[in-house]
Chains A and B, each alone.
Chain A
Amino acid sequence: MTPDVTPGVAAGAAGATAGGGPEPAVPARRNPLRGLVEANVVVVTALAIVSSLLIGGVLIIATSPTVLHALGRIGSSPGRALGVAGSTVGDAYAAMFTGAIVSPSGLGHAITTGHGWTAVLTPISETLVSATPLILAGLGVALGFSTGVFNIGAQGQLIAGALASLYVGFEVHLPIGIHLPLVVLAGAVGGAVAGFVPGYLKARTGAHEVITTIMMNYVFLDLLNELLATQPFQQPGQSNAISRSMPATARLPHLFGAGLRANLGFVVALALVVAAAWFMRRSTSGFAFRVIGSNPKAGRTAGIDVRKVTTAVLVMSGALAGLAGMATLSGTDFFLSSGYGGNIGFDAITVALLGRNRPVGVLLGALLFAALDVGGRNMQAATGIPLDLAFVIQAIIVFFVATPALVREVYRLRETGASLGQVLSKGWGG
Chain B
Amino acid sequence: MRLELRGVTKRYGPLVANDHVDLTVEPGEIHCLLGENGAGKSTLMNVLFGMARADEGEVRIDGSPVRFADPGEAVAHGIGMVHQHFMLVPVFTVAENVVLGFEPTRALGFLDRRRARADIRLLSEQFGLEVDPDAVVEDVPVGVQQRVEILKALQRDAKLLILDEPTAVLTPQESEALFAIVRSLARAGRSVLFITHKLKEVLAVADRITVMRLGRVVGTTTASESGESELATMMVGRAVELVVRKGPARPGAAVLEISGLTVVDERGLVAVDGVDLEVRAGEILAVAGVQGNGQTELAQAITGLRPAVAGSIRIDGEELAGATPEAAIAAGVANVPEDRQVDGLVLDMAVEDNLVLDIFDRAPFARHGARDLAAVRSNAERKLVDFDIRAPSVLTPVGSLSGGNQQKVVVARELSRPVKLLVASQPTRGLDVGSIEYVHRRIVEERDRGVAVLIISSELDEVLALGDRVAVMYRGKITGVVDPAAGRDRIGLMMAGAAADPVAPAAPPEAGPPDRPETGAADPPEAGPPACPETGA
Indicate whether A22 sits within 8 Å of B216 (C-beta atoms), given known contacts A3-B43, A15-B390. Answer: yes
Which A residues between 108 and 129 are near B, CB-CB below 8 angstroms? none
Instruction: With CB as the reference atom, state the residue of chain A lying closest to B81.
Output: A1
Are B357 and A17 in contact (CB-based, < 8 A)? no
How far, in whole Å, are A10 and B396 apart by their CA atoms in the complex?
13
A22–B360 touching, CB < 8 Å: no
Residues of A within 8 A of B39 (CB): 4-5
Tell me whether A283 and B400 are in contact (CB under 8 A).
Answer: no
Which of A40-48, A185-193, A286-294, A334-342 lies at the binding interface? Answer: A286-294
Q: Are A20 and B238 in contact (CB under 8 A)?
A: yes
A299 in contact with B357 (CB, 8 Å): yes
**Chain A residues in 8 Å Cβ range of B16:** 24-25
Contact partner of B14 (CB less than 8 A), chosen from A9, A29, A304, is A29
- Complex Cα distance, B17 from A244, in Å, reads 72
A24 surroundings in chain B (CB, below 8 A): 15-17, 19, 214-216
B344 lies within 8 A of chain A by Cβ: yes
B43 and A298 contact, CB distance less than 8 A = no
Complex: A22 Cα to B212 Cα, angstroms: 12
When the two chains form their complex, are residues B12 and A298 in contact, meaning their CB atoms are under 8 A apart?
no
CA distance A27 to B390 in the complex (A): 13
Residues of A within 8 A of B85 (CB): 1
Given A295-B345, A301-B303 in contact, is the A13-B360 Cβ separation under 8 Å? no
Query: Which residue of A has the minimal Cβ distance to B38?
Result: A13
Please tell me if the beta carbons of B214 and A14 are within 8 angstroms of each other in the complex. Answer: yes
Are the CB atoms of A282 and B370 closer together than 8 Å? yes
- Among A23, A282, A297, A302, contact of B214 (Cβ-Cβ < 8 Å): A23
Query: Which residues in B have their C-beta under 8 angstroms from that of A22?
Result: 214, 216
B15 adjacent to A5 (CB under 8 Å): yes
- Separation of A305 and B361 alpha carbons in the complex (Å): 13
* B155-203 with Cβ < 8 A to chain A: 164
A17 touches B434 (CB 8 A): yes
Query: Are B392 and A17 in touch, CB under 8 angstroms?
Result: no
Residues of B within 8 A of A15 (CB): 390-392, 402, 405
Tell me the complex Cα distance, A139–B329, Å.
Answer: 34
User: A11 near B: Cβ within 8 Å?
Assistant: yes
Cβ of A430 within 8 Å of any chain B Cβ, yes or no, is no
Residues on A with C-beta less than 8 A from B78 are none
User: Given the complex of chains A and B, what is the CA–CA distance between A27 and B16 in angstroms?
Assistant: 11
Q: Is B399 an interface residue (CB 8 A)?
A: yes
Q: In the assembly, what is the distance between CA of A283 and CA of B370, in Å?
A: 4
Tell me the bound Cα distance from A128 to B467 in angstroms.
Answer: 68
Residues of B within 8 A of A8 (CB): 399-400
Which among A10, A23, A288, A298 has the greatest number of chain B C-beta atoms within 10 A? A298
Docked CA distance A5–B18 (Å)? 9
- Contact, CB under 8 Å: A301 / B38: no
Q: Does B41 contact A (CB under 8 A)?
A: yes
B405–A287 CB distance below 8 A: no
Let me know if A19 and B15 touch, CB within 8 A: no
In the bound complex, residues from chain A placing their C-beta under 8 Å from that of B12 are: 3, 5-7
Contact with B along A208-248 (1 / 0, CB 8 A): 00000000000000000000000000000000000000000
How does the 8 Å CB contact mask read for A260-296 relative to B, with 1 for contact and 0 for none? 0000000000000000000000111101101100110
Chain A residue numbers with a CB within 8 Å of B305 are 300-301
Confirm or deny: A16 has a beta carbon within 8 angstroms of a beta carbon on chain B: yes
Say yes or no for A26: interface residue by CB 8 A criterion: yes
A10 to B405 alpha-carbon distance, docked (Å): 12
Q: How far is the CA of A375 from the CA of B407 in the complex (A)?
A: 55
Contact status of A302 and B325, CB under 8 A, knowing A7-B15, A12-B401, A16-B435: yes
Contact of B37 among A4, A19, A282, A297 (CB under 8 A): A4
* Residue contact A3 to B46, C-beta cutoff 8 Å: yes
Q: Which of B38, B345, B369, B434 has the most CB of A within 10 A?
A: B38
Tell me the minimal C-beta distance from B395 to chain A in angstroms: 9
In angstroms, how far is the closest chain B Cβ from the Cβ of A274? 15
Q: Residues 294-325 of chain A: 1 if any B CB is under 8 Å from the residue's CB, otherwise 0? A: 11011111111100000000000000000000
9-residue interface stretch from B24-32, B251-259, B346-354: B346-354
Q: B402 — which chain A residues lie within 8 A by C-beta?
A: 9, 12-13, 15-16
Complex: how many Å from CA A22 to CA B20?
13
Say which size band chain A's interface belongs to.
Answer: 35 or more
CB of B432 within 8 A of CB of A16, answer: yes
Chain A residues whose CB sits within 8 angstroms of the CB of B434 once the complex forms: 16-18
Other-chain contact of A283, B37, B371, B399 (Cβ < 8 Å)? B371
Q: A2 within 8 Å of B by Cβ? A: yes
- B450 CB–A CB distance under 8 Å: no
Any A CB within 8 A of the CB of B342: yes
Complex interface: chain B residues within 8 A of A294 (CB): 346-349
Given contacts A3-B52, A5-B12, A302-B357, contact A285 B369 (CB under 8 A): yes
Set of chain A residues within 8 Å of B282, measured between Cβ atoms = none
* Least distance between A417 CB and chain B CB atoms (Å): 10
Cβ of A21 < 8 Å from any Cβ of B? yes
Q: Does B230 contact A (CB under 8 A)?
A: no
Assess whether A414 is interfacial by the CB under 8 Å rule.
Answer: no
- A287 in contact with B345 (CB, 8 Å): no
Distance, CA A423 to CA B249, complexed state (A): 50
Q: Which of B1-55 contact A (CB under 8 A)?
A: 12-17, 19, 35-43, 46, 52
B43 & A282 in contact (Cβ 8 Å cutoff): no
- The CA of A29 and the CA of B14, in the complex, are separated in Å by 9
Expressed in whole angstroms, the minimum distance between the Cβ of B433 and any Cβ of chain A is 9
Contact of A204 with B by CB under 8 A: no
> Does B229 belong to the interface (CB within 8 Å)?
no
Q: Verify if B343 is at the interface (C-beta below 8 Å from A).
A: yes
- Chain A residues within 8 Å of B37, by CB: 4
CB distance B361 to A284 under 8 Å? yes
Determine if B335 is an interface residue (Cβ-Cβ < 8 Å). yes
Min CB distance A357 to B, Å, is 14
Q: By the criterion CB–CB under 8 Å, are B346 and A301 in contact?
A: no
Least CB distance from A301 to B in Å reads 5
The distance from the CB of A414 to the nearest CB of chain B, in whole angstroms, is: 12
- In the complex, the answer to whether B366 meets A284 with C-beta atoms within 8 Å is yes
Nearest neighbor of B326 in chain A, beta-carbon distance: A303
Q: How far is the CA of A304 from the CA of B390 in the complex (A)?
A: 27
Question: Is B237 part of the binding interface, using a Cβ–Cβ cutoff of 8 Å?
Answer: yes
Least Cβ–Cβ distance between A27 and chain B, in angstroms: 7
Is A412 engaged at the interface, CB distance under 8 Å to the other chain? no
Which residue of A is nearest B87, CB measured?
A: A1
Closest to B46 in A: A3
In the bound complex, residues from chain A placing their C-beta under 8 Å from that of B400 are 8-9, 11-12, 30
B164 lies within 8 A of A1 (CB): yes
Most A CB within 10 A of own CB, among B13, B39, B52: B13
**Interface residues as binary, B368-402 with A (CB distance below 8 Å gives 1, 0 otherwise):** 01110100000000000000001110001001111
Complex CA distance for A291 and B360, rounded to whole angstroms: 11
Decide: A20 and B15 in contact? CB cutoff 8 A: no
Asked if A5 and B215 sit within 8 Å, CB to CB, the answer is yes
Determine if A19 and B236 form an interchain contact, defined as CB atoms under 8 angstroms apart: yes
Across the interface, do A305 and B349 meet the contact criterion of CB distance under 8 Å? no
B391 to chain A, nearest CB (A): 7
Which chain A residue shows the least CB distance to B433?
A17
Bound state CA distance, A6 and B15, in angstroms? 8
A7 to B383, CA, bound (A): 26
In the bound complex, what is the Cα–Cα distance between A4 and B164 (angstroms)?
Answer: 11
Q: For A10, what are the chain B residues with a Cβ–Cβ distance below 8 Å?
A: 14-15
**B83 interfacial by beta-carbon distance below 8 Å:** yes
- CB neighbours (8 Å) of A287 from chain B are 353, 360-361, 371
B296 contacts chain A at the CB level, 8 A cutoff? no
Considering only residues 330-351 of chain A, those with a C-beta below 8 Å from chain B are: none
The residue of chain B having its C-beta at the shortest distance from the C-beta of A4 within the complex is B42
Q: Can you report 17 residue pairs joining A to B where beta carbons are below 8 Å apart?
A: A1-B42, A3-B52, A4-B41, A7-B13, A11-B392, A15-B390, A16-B38, A17-B36, A24-B215, A30-B396, A282-B371, A284-B360, A287-B361, A287-B371, A295-B346, A302-B325, A303-B326
List 4 A-B pairs, minimum CB-CB distance, nearest first. Answer: A12-B402, A15-B390, A12-B401, A19-B238
Assuming A18-B238, A282-B373, what are 8 further A-B pairs, CB within 8 angstroms?
A8-B400, A11-B392, A12-B400, A12-B406, A13-B38, A24-B17, A297-B342, A301-B343
